[in-house]
Structure 1
Amino acid sequence: MAKTLLEIVEEIKQHIPHFDCDTAAVNRKKDNGLLIDVREPSEHETESVTGAINIPRGILEMKMLTLEPNRSRPIYLHCASAVRAALSAEQLHRVGYTHLYVVTGDLKNIIQAHST
């Protein structure tokens, strides 16, 4: 039986932490984590977190392997709803990244939390 997207995201939450935008911002400052925006470039250009690296979900694994070869560096992933970010975290987990976090909250709050 096919799973819904929400069921898949719930499964991902069991092994990849999800943090609200404020908690993620505090943690990222402490651990020098990367903030990756997995939305499409057109979405990122319209509105984005200053300093976030835009790598669309479709090419994330390929780009991350060269961008950050240290697979234990903390990586915080966000999109506009946390769904693409969760799916992206799952893919990075499969290629060996170990400290992955999904940032939750609406985009405006994510921008505000990570811009201070």
Structure 2
Amino acid sequence: MLVSTQSLIQSIKKSLRCIDAIQAKQALVTGEGILIDVREPHEHQQQAPKSAINIPRGMIEFMLPQKVPNPDTQIFIHCAMGGRAMFAAEQLNRIGYTNVTVIEAPVATICKCFDD
């Protein structure tokens, strides 16, 4: 039997740290951290927070260790609606990152919050 994507996301979410866009902005302003947009490059080019680094979900475990070698770095992940960010955060936890947070908000909300 196939598991629905929504069921899988809800299952994964239980083990992840999730916050809203305002909390993420406050954390990034007061501490050291990095904002990662796991959408595809064409989506990122259309609309993205100025401070976000684009690493597509399918490449996150290959590219992030080169950009962020410290596994304890505070990492905030977002996508368009949250699903890809959940999967990316789960994968980063699996490879050893210890401080990964998913921003639960539509990309438009994140952009508005971070670009204000």
TM-score, L = length of structure 2: 0.94
Structure 2 unmatched ranges of 5 or more: none
Q: Distance in 2 between the 1:92 and 1:104 partners? A: 17
Q: Distance in 2 between the 1:9 and 1:24 partners? A: 20
How far 1:8 moved relative to its partner?
A: 1.5
How far 1:2 moved relative to its partner?
A: 2.5
Residue 73 of structure 1 aligns with which residue?
Answer: 73
Provide the secondary structure at the position in 2 that maps to 1:2: coil
How far 1:30 moved relative to its partner?
A: 2.1
How far 1:26 moved relative to its partner?
A: 0.9
Provide the secondary structure at the position in 1 that maps to 2:101: strand
Provide the secondary structure at the position in 1 that maps to 2:112: helix
Residue 23 of structure 2 aligns with which residue?
Answer: 23
Q: Distance in 2 between the 1:11 and 1:40 partners? A: 24
Provide the secondary structure at the position in 2 that maps to 1:61: helix
Q: Distance in 2 between the 1:30 and 1:59 partners? A: 28
Q: Where does 1:1-116 land on structure 2 (aligned, <5 Å)?
A: 1-116=1-116
Structure 1 unmatched ranges of 5 or more: none
C-alpha RMSD of matched pairs (Å) = 1.1
State, as a whole percentage, how many aligned pairs show the same letter. Answer: 35
Aligned positions, number? 116
Q: Distance in 2 between the 1:10 and 1:68 partners? A: 27
Amino acid at match of 2:15: H
